[in-house]
């Protein structure tokens, strides 16, 4: 039971370091999303987020003021994930990239005009299908793609964050998008969009 002497005399949030409150807390939504992408589970994501913030708070004096705080937090999260969570996650099925390449080439030879793809297929794809397609990407492709397209990080920042060469960032993004293109095309077709019709227009 709480004793009188242990009453907290200030509201909790005011006990936090002010710089930390201003710099680190606003990124919670982005980090939560990243945690969801990494873990694919809301309970694990919550744990991972909490752990990331506790570590960040503990090592706050190690953060170089004026540098990118979000990138710093992302790095802490990625490392925590690798250390504690990855072992619990089933590794996604190995992907046959050559096969994807083949399917892509078939689509390409069927579609001729890429403007049709934009108007008729991709604009009709559902949000859920987009999420599903992203989810199906191998984790290392997904992370890099979302850093780029959702978090707006530069290739250099991503390379630094992921500890991979910039050329690898480039090729992962390129492949991730090809994979998505094939998936989304497939969804559009299975939802009844008639590809041949679009060709005739």
Partner 1 sequence: MDCKEFQQYISPLVDNQIDENKRIEAEKHLQQCPSCFFDFKVESIVKKIVSFKFVKTACPDVLKKQIVFSLVSQEGFFERLLSYLKIIFFSKYLRLSFAIGLILLLSIIISNPFKKDKEKYYKEFASVVYQNCRELKNHNFPEKTIFTTNHDVVKKFISSNGILTPKMPNTDWSIIAAGIESFDKFHAAHLLFQCEEDTVYLMEFDINKAKYSGYLNFVNEIYSDLKSKKYLELNFYDYIIILRIEENILMAYAINAHNRHPHEELISSLE
Give the residue with the Cβ less far from partner 1, 6 or 64.
6
- Contact residues for partner 1 (CB under 8 A)? 1-2, 4, 6-13, 15-17, 25, 28-33, 36, 42-43, 46, 49-50, 53-54, 57-58, 108, 111, 114-115, 117-118, 122, 125, 127, 130-131, 134, 145-146, 148-150, 154-155, 170-171, 173-174, 177-178, 180-181, 184
Inter-residue contact 136 to 183 (CB < 8 Å)? yes
Cβ-proximal residues to 112 (8 Å cutoff; 6+ apart), any chain: 199
| Count of residues in the chain | 201
**How far are the Cα atoms of 53, 55, 112, 160, 188 from residue 58, in angstroms, in the given order?**
8, 5, 56, 22, 48
Give the residue with the Cβ less far from partner 1, 57 or 84.
57
Pinpoint the alpha helices (H) of the chain. 18-23, 28-39, 42-58, 69-80, 97-111, 114-116, 127-135, 139-149, 155-162, 166-190, 195-200
Supply the minimum distance, in Å, between the C-beta of residue 193 and partner 1. 15
Give the residue with the Cβ less far from partner 1, 78 or 175.
175
Give the residue with the Cβ less far from partner 1, 86 or 135.
135
Supply the minimum distance, in Å, between the C-beta of residue 114 and partner 1. 4
Supply the minimum distance, in Å, between the C-beta of residue 25 and partner 1. 7
Give the residue with the Cβ less far from partner 1, 91 or 123.
123
Supply the minimum distance, in Å, between the C-beta of residue 154 and partner 1. 6
Supply the minimum distance, in Å, between the C-beta of residue 94 and partner 1. 22
**How far are the Cα atoms of 39, 79, 118, 174, 199 from residue 75, in angstroms, in the given order?**
15, 6, 35, 23, 46
């Amino acid at each position: 039971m709480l004793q009188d002497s242990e009453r907290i005399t200030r509201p909790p949030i005011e006990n936090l370091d002010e710089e930390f409150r201003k710099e680190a807390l606003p990124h919670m939504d982005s980090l939560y999303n990243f945690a969801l992408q990494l873990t694919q589970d809301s309970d694990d994501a919550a744990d991972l987020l909490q752990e990331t913030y506790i570590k960040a708070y503990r090592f706050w004096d190690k953060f170089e003021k004026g540098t990118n705080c979000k990138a710093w937090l992302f790095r802490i999260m990625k490392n925590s994930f690798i250390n504690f969570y990855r072992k619990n996650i089933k590794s996604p099925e190995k992907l046959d990239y050559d096969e994807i390449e083949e399917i892509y080439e078939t689509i390409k030879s069927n579609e001729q005009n890429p403007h049709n793809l934009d108007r008729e297929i991709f604009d009709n794809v559902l949000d859920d299908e987009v999420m599903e397609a992203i989810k199906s990407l191998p984790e290392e492709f997904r992370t890099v793609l979302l850093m780029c397209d959702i978090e707006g990080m530069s290739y250099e920042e991503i390379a630094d964050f992921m500890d991979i060469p910039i050329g690898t960032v480039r090729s992962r993004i390129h492949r991730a998008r090809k994979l998505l293109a094939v998936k989304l095309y497939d969804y559009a077709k299975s939802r009844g969009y008639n590809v041949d019709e679009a060709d005739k227009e």
